[in-house]
Structure 1
Amino acid sequence: MNLKNCFQILIFLIVGFTSLAQAQLASKFQTDKKWMKQELTRMKLPKNFIKDALENYQPESFESVLKLNLLGFLKPPQHMDLVTAQAVTESSRFLKENRKAFESANKKYQVSSDVISALLWVETRHGDNTGQFHILSVYLHLLQSNRSENRQLLTTMALEQNRSLKTYSSKELKKKMQTRTLKKSEWAREELRALASIHKKGQLNLRTLKGSYAGAFGLAQFIPSSYRDYAKSTTANANPNLMKPKDAILSVAHYLSKHGWKNKKAQDKITALMSYNNSRDYADSILAISKQVNPNGG
């Protein structure tokens, strides 16, 4: 056997053992309904919300949600290549099709229609891709991310991935994972409180509500606290429905106006958009698309 063949076999074995180790680690991820009930009770959430939450919990996505939310930072950052001819065309079309809703939102909140249309394209392709993760379960998953066994498994996976990337020292990465899991679980608590408030008002069907792995839903991809605080309905005495373009448009306008949007100041626009998604690429892309949008459509 020549040296080249030996090297190829060695690489194959290393990759195989790494994949096996990852699979074995993944199989150890476990949810704990008893623990969840204790935590939700400790948070003093309504009993009927806790009951519905546990009865409708979907554990199947536990592993994928934890890995997507807690390990995604290890991947090399990619520039958001969102400014395309299709983005401009579709944003122009969407604006034309929903002109009255945009005019109403602009009149009330003074947020540019072309920017809202571009934002909704970037977020969900105007509703074509709103996500298939059960939202309530996403937050119950993340609530468990800082439990010692889950934190240890996630940290081990992070260290394994970092071997090839070599982005962090082991000490740095362990500390970072400890911080990330704690912050993510605390964030999940706040969003579960928002969901409990939404549940109490009967605003959304939490049993069927679906969205992204990050816990956002609707055309506008609001998280629960954003829905609670900024979602608006275009119909009197009706709950906001972010799957409806009219409500999504008005809600985004309200959100941006409350986060410093000013039509005449470029930096205020960027600040408002980055409050929506903390990425300069994201903000710049939306503004670049909006500048090319044809208000007459097409």
Structure 2
Amino acid sequence: MLINKNNIGLILKYFFSVLIFLFFTVYKISFSSSQDKIYQSKIKFFKPVITELIKRGADTNFIYSLLADSKTQFNERFVKINVTGYLTKTDYSHNYNRASVKSSNEFLHQFIEILTKCEEIYKVPKEIISAIIWIETKNGKYLGNNHIPSVFFSTALAEEQYFIDLNIKTMKEAFKGNDDERYQLEQKIIKRAGTKSNWAMNELLALEKMSKISPIPVNDLMGSWAGAFGIPQFLPSSYIKWAVDGNGDGIVNLFTYEDAIYSVANYLRENGWGMSRESQRASVFLYNNSTDYVDAVFKLASRLRQLNQVETDSVNVIQQ
């Protein structure tokens, strides 16, 4: 058989095509195998969580679909901060300084029509709603970059003995009290580990319910280390119970301002907001169980009212 230059070219072209095909086939098989190993390792690691969720009635397809996503990862920081974070007191005072009042007031004026209508419906002052949205996400500018399912999967492991020991060790390194106080704190951490693990399990169950109605895939949700997301920083369980459609588009999206504003007002009303200051403070405390947080909300709201009263008085003087 005579082989001319054209035939040689065709043979070489065919040869290299086969090589390229074989390379990508082997690469794909290798990559797929590697991914499968990672997935199986993840399933094994989160087995205590998976077992408990199934026992509580979770859809296995939903659980495994979350874990199959590469974004869902264990993060030790979530186990630590959600169990022992309460030991560090949060300073909220910067949320009602002059700059904060100015920024929150700009938000109030930008959405004055929505806030006023919302106040008429829910009887929650627009200044309170504006204050909460400022303190939570600085008017929606800082929404958090923590993967929400990862927060709950990680925190759900808090009751495992290894992580209880880890949190106690972390606490001991910073603790300065006596032996009795140390023992009491250890017992509190053990109890809190169980509470937080149970809480995270319930939030994963709520996340499953949310997945059926949320306009955003739940495995794409990003938010705080505490598992809250959106402009008002709702937990999945709060979304299910109290998030509402503020703009009438048939979708409840807490990353839109109308829905966020209405949802904050609905949350407070449904959690006891009434005419008395006691009921009002109690409803805000349920939003964030920190007395300092509640104080910050009311201080900022008060300064917003004072500022707008001054502005109103100035306008009246000019008109006279």
TM-score (norm 1): 0.82
Alignment of 1:222 onto 2:220: no
**Percent of residue pairs identical:** 29
Specify whether residues 174 and 291 from structure 1 end up closer, same or farther in structure 2 by C-alpha distance, changes over 3 A only: closer
CA contact (8 A) 1:62 1:138 kept: yes
Alignment of 1:255 onto 2:267: yes
Specify whether residues 167 and 295 from structure 1 end up closer, same or farther in structure 2 by C-alpha distance, changes over 3 A only: farther
Any residues of structure 2 matched to 1:1-298 within 5 Å, and which?
32-56=45-69, 58=71, 62-75=75-88, 77-81=89-93, 82-162=95-175, 164=176, 169-236=181-248, 238-262=250-274, 264-293=275-304, 294-295=307-308
Larger Rg: 2
Specify whether residues 49 and 84 from structure 1 end up closer, same or farther in structure 2 by C-alpha distance, changes over 3 A only: same
Distance 2:309 2:71 in 1: 45
Q: How many matched pairs?
A: 266
Moved over 6 A (4+): none
Specify whether residues 74 and 115 from structure 1 end up closer, same or farther in structure 2 by C-alpha distance, changes over 3 A only: closer
Q: What residue identity is the alignment partner of 1:292? A: R
CA displacement 1:29-82 (0-9 Å, x = unmatched): xx813333322222221122112221136465611111221222333x354213
CA displacement 1:260-287 (0-9 Å, x = unmatched): 212x422222111111111222112211
Q: What residue identity is the alignment partner of 1:290? A: A
Distance 1:227 1:297 in 2: 37
Q: What residue identity is the alignment partner of 1:114? A: E
Q: What residue identity is the alignment partner of 2:48? A: W
CA contact (8 A) 1:159 1:173 kept: no
CA contact (8 A) 2:168 2:186 kept: yes
RMSD, aligned α-carbons: 2.4
TM-score (norm 2): 0.76
Distance 1:288 1:236 in 2: 32
Specify whether residues 49 and 290 from structure 1 end up closer, same or farther in structure 2 by C-alpha distance, changes over 3 A only: same
Distance 1:206 1:231 in 2: 15
Q: What residue identity is the alignment partner of 1:74? A: L
Distance 1:228 1:251 in 2: 11
Q: What residue identity is the alignment partner of 1:291? A: S
Higher RCO (Cα < 8 Å, 6 or more apart): 1
Higher helix share: 2
CA contact (8 A) 2:245 2:259 kept: yes
Specify whether residues 254 and 78 from structure 1 end up closer, same or farther in structure 2 by C-alpha distance, changes over 3 A only: closer
Structure 2: state its 5+ residue gaps: 1-43, 312-320
Q: What residue identity is the alignment partner of 2:115? A: F
Structure 1: state its 5+ residue gaps: 1-30
Distance 2:173 2:71 in 1: 28
